[in-house]
């Protein structure tokens, strides 16, 4: 997993509450086991008509947000089923940071395992970011995980809180497998101790 320390990107304001994982990535796209390519199906039912044509009124299809990498949304983002594909789709599309008042627990944990930073901000800060990002084309923020702050275009800063273990994992690019491999020598030593007691069954 790629380490995350700082990111500067244009905000995409998705003004909806209770966005569930089936809306993020509909069930018909869950057959794959690869992370690559899922970005094409992100928010598919909102993004495309039944004939597959882009909906002009959906936020991701508007030119000013085409290159956005910071998703701004409302409370309880990522609710519903625990499908990790939802985070894969967001990451494959190009989102690096999520800003919302709250997230579903499993979705929130999956973000950290896939290199996305989900920042929880209070409603007042979120509402202010919505207003400013809608009113200003190319509204970009700088997100600094090390110092736990978001710098707005006018120079003002928003501080955020994050679990220190999750912060460490993102800063170092450590997913579950990487964390396990940090103890590879201990695991190998333990396996070697058990080897004399293993029973070999011949077929």
Q: Is the pLDDT of residue 182 over 80?
A: no
Range 125-133 average pLDDT: 98
- Residue by residue, DSSP assigns the chain as ----SEEEEEEEE---SS-BHHHHS-GGGTT---STTGGGGTTHHHHB-TTSPBPTTSGGGSGGGTT--EEE--SSBTBSS--THHHHHHHHHT--EEEES-B-HHHHHHHHHTT-EEEE--HHHHHHHHHHHHHSTT-EEEEETTTTEEE-TTS-EEE----HHHHHHHHHT--HHHHHHTTHHHHHHHHHHHGGGPPP---
For residue 191, being part of any structural domain is answered with: no
Q: What is the CATH number of the domain that holds 10?
A: 3.20.19.10
- Segment 192-199 shows an average pLDDT of 64
Kindly indicate the confidence band of residue 183, based on its pLDDT and cuts at 50, 70 and 90. Answer: very low
Residue 23 — pLDDT band, cuts 50, 70, 90? very high
pLDDT, residue 197, reads 62
Q: Examine residue 188 and state whether it is found in any structural domain, yes or no.
A: no
With pLDDT > 90 as the criterion, what percentage of the chain qualifies? 81
Residue 45 has pLDDT above 50, yes or no: yes
Total domains, the chain: 1
Mean pLDDT score across all residues of the chain: 91
In a domain, 186, yes or no: no
pTM of the model: 0.87
- Flag whether 180 is in a domain: no
- Does any domain span residue 181? no
Mean pLDDT score, 143-156: 98
Task: Give the range of the structural domain holding residue 122, as residue numbers without chain letter.
Answer: 6-174
The answer to whether residue 48 sits within a structural domain is yes
Residue 194, domain member (yes or no): no
Question: Quick one: average pLDDT of 150-164?
Answer: 97
Residue 88 inside a domain? The answer is yes
């Amino acid at each position: 997993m790629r380490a995350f320390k700082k990111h500067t990107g244009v905000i995409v304001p998705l003004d909806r509450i209770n966005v569930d994982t089936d809306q993020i990535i509909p069930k018909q796209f869950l057959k794959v086991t690869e992370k690559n390519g899922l970005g094409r199906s992100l928010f598919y039912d909102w993004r495309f008509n039944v004939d597959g044509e882009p909906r002009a009124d959906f936020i991701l299809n508007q030119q000013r947000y085409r290159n956005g990498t910071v998703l701004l949304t409302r409370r309880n983002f990522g609710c519903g089923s625990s499908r990790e594909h939802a985070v894969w789709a967001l990451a494959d599309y190009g989102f690096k940071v999520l800003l919302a008042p709250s997230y579903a627990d499993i979705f929130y944990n999956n973000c950290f395992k896939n290199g996305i930073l989900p920042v929880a901000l209070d409603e007042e800060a979120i509402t202010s970011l919505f207003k400013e990002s809608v009113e200003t084309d190319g509204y970009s923020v700088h997100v600094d995980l090390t110092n736990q702050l978001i710098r707005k275009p006018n120079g003002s800063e928003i501080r955020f809180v994050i679990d220190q273990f999750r912060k460490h994992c993102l800063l170092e690019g450590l997913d579950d497998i990487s964390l396990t491999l940090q103890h590879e020598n201990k695991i190998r030593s333990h396996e070697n101790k058990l080897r004399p007691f293993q029973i070999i069954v011949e077929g």
